[in-house]
Amino acid sequence: MGLRPRGPRPRLLRSDADALAGSFIGLGKAVAAEAKWFLSRLPLAGAAEHGEALKSAFARIASEALEPASSDAQASRFAGDVAVVTGVSPNSIAAQVVEGLLAGGATVIATSHSFRPSIKAWGRQAYREHATGDAKLWLVPANLSSFRDVDALVDWVGHVQKKTTGATTTILKPAYEPTLFFPFAAPPVHGTLADSGELFESQARLMLWGVERAIAGLSRIGADTDVQHKLHVVLPGSPNRGVFGGDGAYGEVKSAFDAIVNRARAERDAWSDRVTFAHPKIGWVRGTGLMGGNDPLVAVVERHGIHTYSTAQIAVKLLDLCTADSRKAAAEAPLDVDLTGGLGSEPIDIKALRAEAEADAAADAAKETAGLPLAGAGATNVATEGGQSVSLPQSATPAGAAKAVIKALPTPVVPHQPHVDLADWAGVTARPEDEIVIVSVGELGPWGSGRTRAQAELGIHPDGTVDLNAGAVLELAWNMGLLTWADSPKPGWYDTDGNLVPEEDIADRYHDEVVARSGIRPFEEGMGDDYKDGADEEEAEVYLDHDVTFSVPTEQVAREYVKLDEAHTSIARDDESGEWNVTRHAGSMIRVPRRAAMTRTVGGQFPKGFDPVKWGIPASMVGDVDRIALWNIVTTVDAYLSAGFNPAEILQAIHPSLVASTQGTGFGGMASMRKLYLDRFLNHEIPTDILQEALPNVVAAHVMQSYIGGYGNMIQPVSACATAAVSLEEGADKIALGKADFVVTGAIDDIGVESVIGFGNMNATANSAEMYGKGIDARFFSRANDRRRGGFLESQGGGTILLTRGDIALKLGLPVAGVIGFIHSYADGAHTSIPAPGLGALAAGLGGRDSKLVRDLAKLGVTPDDIAVVSKHDTSTNANDPNESELHNTLAHAIGRTDGNPLFVISQKTVTGHAKGGACIFQVNGLTQLFASGVIPANAALDCVDPKLAKDDHMTWLRKPLRIGGGEDVFGRSAAGKPVKAGLATSLGFGHVSGFVALVHPGAFEASVAKADGEAALVAWRERANARLAAGQRRLEEGMMGRAALYEPIDNRRFREDGTRLADGTRYDAHEVEKAMLLDPDARLNASGYFEA
């Protein structure tokens, strides 16, 4: 609904009440319950005037939602009608007609010659703002100048549209029998009689002959089964019979409409017995494609007694011709209606009218020059010394006022712990040592880091544009290699040509480029060398129809060819060259490479140009280590440094055997697997140690052995798409069981042609051609919960989550991004399908209101009603999205959530794609960012929620970002308010692995510290934690500028060189020092960075 459910501030109440204007009739129990819930949350006192307006609005909605649409004459005016409206564009008469039909409950099929973003945006808005009851809107692209398209449209309207996947057949659209037809399709008309020929013919094909063909075709639908059916055609006539001139075939076409109506009487046996006509003569309509160019003449025209209409006004008149009474009258005789407003009753001289309008404009200009007041035209507001504002004519504006805006650098946003009011956390009973906290998250995905991904989530618009601030643009441009810092010849950022780019110009210059290189988009080089232009390199088996001879260096090699196909291979020594000739005879099978078109050509890839070397990864590692393992190291570096500490500091405070890793992966090193299996088969040169890089656990091993250096648990889960959630569970369990004090958790996955083709063959992913055919842009192929979703969009990415115990975070002054409230993984029982979704995670509510989930959250001061959001797995598959919604909705009721309390849905994969094993990293990081900001991102790909989800009354899907709590978002925009106390995340994997996570705001940690150690200890911790966060941002900025290291390899395994003389005269023995350290519970890394003897 777009309101703040946690006590909106009084100054916002009026605008919120205005946002609730309009009809809510027939929207059902769920909307009524939600309105009642919001009503119950409003303050009972204060904000009297505006508060009462909001209360009144919610009370009205609660009442209206329970009324059937049929009880309202306007909402049911066209219920049961199926209308075809052609020539739709924003602000057109056709668009206004469509909106009126939707408001009356009709099913509308609207055609446009293109699927421009503006058309789709209009369609979304029209349906959301006007549809009532069972109204439906179909947008169909059609070139109605083509008789083939006219026939295809008729066929599409009259036949069921199905999609069959395996044994499942889905009805995409039922067969319709249209009852109304509004043929508004028209080209930009121009040309004089001298231009007649092809120009006039093309105009007539669209406006006349195509209309005739459509009337005949649409009226025939259902003729064999519904003999009484009538198609009511509103034929838009005109008094313009050439009086304007220069408008091509328009006048001739409108004259011909008279003939269509007349011939209906004579051709009743052929077609018109199933057609009725309303033939309005439409006059001057302002703002249309035809008449918009004459809008400057409106005042003059009306002065001469001609009435003009707006598009909305004329649409009302046209819809009045479609009432039951009008259709009954039309069945007797065509309705001839005068809507000319006097246009055409007398000759009109456009040239004279234009001259009169120009004279009026000149007179106004003379007044402006004289300083006389005009009707607000050309005025500029200027502030006076008293702080008031006066309006000056344009000519009186102070010189230079137009240049008052200058470029400036953005105000830096310094990261800090979210604001916490301990009064909001009075119910916390847990102690710091009882809590497991998230210290930091490092992330990499199609939108780069978690910092830039968060901005893309909040900044993406339905037209595909994305708002990013200057800092995000710079971070992405640096990672992409578009900008590099240099201290000479002048300190600053330099482009790839070595030119200095002023810092204030970076955002404007690079914004569009970094956006185009990021997110979900057609595949680029990230897929590997074997992918190109939507095709993958494959090999086909063919049989020779003639002998083929080639040379090899030795007899041994030659006989290897014979062994493969003795029946069709012969060899002979070439005495002249000393080589051996191998002949494959006719009938022999050979493999020939080819490029095969792929059905999936869009996915989520790392931003184009991203290079781990930017983060300090040595070139030697880039050549030896699988690329996804390198990026896993980068995410771990980001997690540590952005929180203001490094691995050595943890080892100085915690015994090394209690620093553990549970990082996992769904696939492992995909690029290395390809080399191991395919390149070896093709006899390409491959690294001798490539086998180790293909092992899944080695992705995590590189992090521990090259960057962290811990000695604790090494548990590397492989749980398909739920891997990151299972890793987080494993890490939390290790801490809860006392097996670890600090755990590096997370997961990451790559993308490649093998996975893209494999998932495509399973019909798990969206078919690119089908999505394009629906008029959907590549950016929005991932469309969770939408009725037009077609499967998930595979992507690459993941990251690292650092976990520790609350008392350790307090002791070390580590930041806290969130608290683990509850975490558990589940199976789904017996199944015959590996990918089919299940309900196993519903067991999180085992015991209902007395479940462990409810009890654990209660210790952190959280009730079921405090859970604000659920970050769903939401893959955009037909099976998953409804199943997961049902799971969460059922759980909400089971644990005692109040009826009507909305559970907002976050569908991150619509922005990131599905990173398989790494997906839950984005979800967890997104929830911690929500705790800090109070703003929920929307699903910009969501056009129409799947009707299958209607039963899930708690679930609420957003079309725009919504602030529901206090905080500061990633753009630096802040607001006061109650915190977002908790959120859920589910992550579901092939093989029936379901991860369930409940995260709680850092306020739960702060309250536990205040209760256990006092508020002074809390203040001290906050100061240290905020200092770390600020230092982390500085470190990242210095790293980008090359002034500080980001990735720092471990020096000599953190041991001194053997034989180093010690202070007591003995020699250092690294082997013995390591053994002693592992047996001494008090051993820690020394401040020197080495384990000392």
| Residue 1092 sits in the same domain as residue 999 | no
In a domain, 529, yes or no: no
Q: Which residues contact 902 (CB under 8 A, 6 or more apart)?
A: 1, 5, 34, 37, 954, 955, 956
**Tens-digit pLDDT profile for residues 444-468:** 999 999 999 999 999 999 999 999 9
SS3 at position 240: coil
**Tens-digit pLDDT profile for residues 744-785:** 999 999 999 999 999 999 999 999 999 999 889 999 999 999
- CA dihedral 1051→1054→1057→1059, nearest 10 degrees, is 170
In a domain, 787, yes or no: yes
Choose one of 67, 91, 111: the last residue of a domain.
Answer: 67
Joined together, the tokens standing for residue 27 give 């929207």
- Give the pLDDT band of residue 198 (cuts 50, 70, 90): confident
| Residue 287 sits in the same domain as residue 307 | yes
Distance separating alpha carbons of residues 1037 and 471, to the nearest angstrom: 10
| DSSP category for residue 988 | E
- Give the pLDDT band of residue 195 (cuts 50, 70, 90): confident
**Tens-digit pLDDT profile for residues 272-285:** 899 999 999 998 88
| Residue 720 sits in the same domain as residue 851 | yes
| Residue 984 sits in the same domain as residue 1079 | no
Joined together, the tokens standing for residue 589 give 């099978």
CB-count burial class (<10 Å; 0-12, 13-18, 19+) for 141: middle
* Nearest to 306, CA basis, from 392, 223, 240, 376: 240
Q: Which residues contact 1074 (CB under 8 A, 6 or more apart)?
A: 1055, 1091
CB 870 within 8 A of CB 901: no
Provide the domain limits for residue 47. Answer: 10-67
In a domain, 957, yes or no: no
- Give the pLDDT band of residue 1 (cuts 50, 70, 90): very low
CB neighbours of residue 241 within 10 Å = 13
In the chain, the amino acid numbered 174 is P
| Residue 167 sits in the same domain as residue 43 | no
* Nearest to 1058, CA basis, from 1066, 1050, 1070: 1070
Joined together, the tokens standing for residue 800 give 């690292």
- Give the pLDDT band of residue 373 (cuts 50, 70, 90): low
**CATH number for the domain that contains residue 800:** 3.40.47.10
Distance separating alpha carbons of residues 137 and 128, to the nearest angstrom: 10
| Residue 20 sits in the same domain as residue 106 | no
| Residue 49 sits in the same domain as residue 86 | no
Using the structure block, give the residue that is written with the tokens 């405090």.
866
Joined together, the tokens standing for residue 44 give 């009972």
In a domain, 317, yes or no: yes
SS3 at position 824: strand
Q: How far is CA 110 from CA 89, 322, 775, in A?
A: 10, 17, 14
> Per-residue pLDDT for 85 more than 80?
yes
**CATH number for the domain that contains residue 145:** 3.40.50.720
| Residue 120 sits in the same domain as residue 59 | no
In a domain, 44, yes or no: yes
Distance separating alpha carbons of residues 556 and 599, to the nearest angstrom: 43
CB 963 within 8 A of CB 802: no
Average the pLDDT over each of 361-365, 689-693, 935-939 and give the range with the smallest value: 361-365
- The DSSP-derived string for 942-963 is -SSB-GGGTT-TTEEE-SS-EE
Q: Where are the alpha helices (DSSP H) in 205-323?
A: 210-220, 250-266, 298-303, 311-320
In a domain, 139, yes or no: yes
> Per-residue pLDDT for 970 more than 50?
yes
Q: What is the pLDDT of residue 533?
A: 83
**Mean predicted confidence (pLDDT) in 204-208:** 90
Joined together, the tokens standing for residue 732 give 């939390």
β partners of residue 596: 536
- Give the pLDDT band of residue 720 (cuts 50, 70, 90): very high
| Residue 83 sits in the same domain as residue 63 | no
| Residue 890 sits in the same domain as residue 1020 | yes
The C-alpha angle with vertex 40 and arms to 35 and 45, in degrees rounded to 5, equals: 125
Distance separating alpha carbons of residues 667 and 661, to the nearest angstrom: 18
Q: What is the pLDDT of residue 202?
A: 87
In a domain, 202, yes or no: yes
Dihedral (CA of 777, 783, 786, 790) sign: positive
| DSSP category for residue 519 | S
| Residue 84 sits in the same domain as residue 36 | no
Q: What is the pLDDT of residue 388?
A: 33
* Nearest to 207, CA basis, from 273, 252, 270: 252
- The DSSP-derived string for 306-351 is --EE-HHHHHHHHHHTTSHHHHHHHHHS-EEEEE-TTTTSS---HH
Choose one of 349, 381, 404: the last residue of a domain.
Answer: 349
Q: What is the pLDDT of residue 323?
A: 95
In a domain, 1038, yes or no: no
Q: How far is CA 477 from the centre of its chain?
A: 21
Choose one of 329, 349, 369: the last residue of a domain.
Answer: 349
> Per-residue pLDDT for 38 more than 60?
yes
- Give the pLDDT band of residue 377 (cuts 50, 70, 90): very low
> Per-residue pLDDT for 614 more than 60?
yes
**Mean predicted confidence (pLDDT) in 702-710:** 97
Number of domains composing the chain = 4
Distance separating alpha carbons of residues 438 and 779, to the nearest angstrom: 31
CB 371 within 8 A of CB 379: no
CB 822 within 8 A of CB 844: yes
% of residues, the chain, pLDDT over 70: 92
| DSSP category for residue 794 | B
| Residue 61 sits in the same domain as residue 85 | no
Q: Which residues contact 134 (CB under 8 A, 6 or more apart)?
A: 69, 79, 105, 107
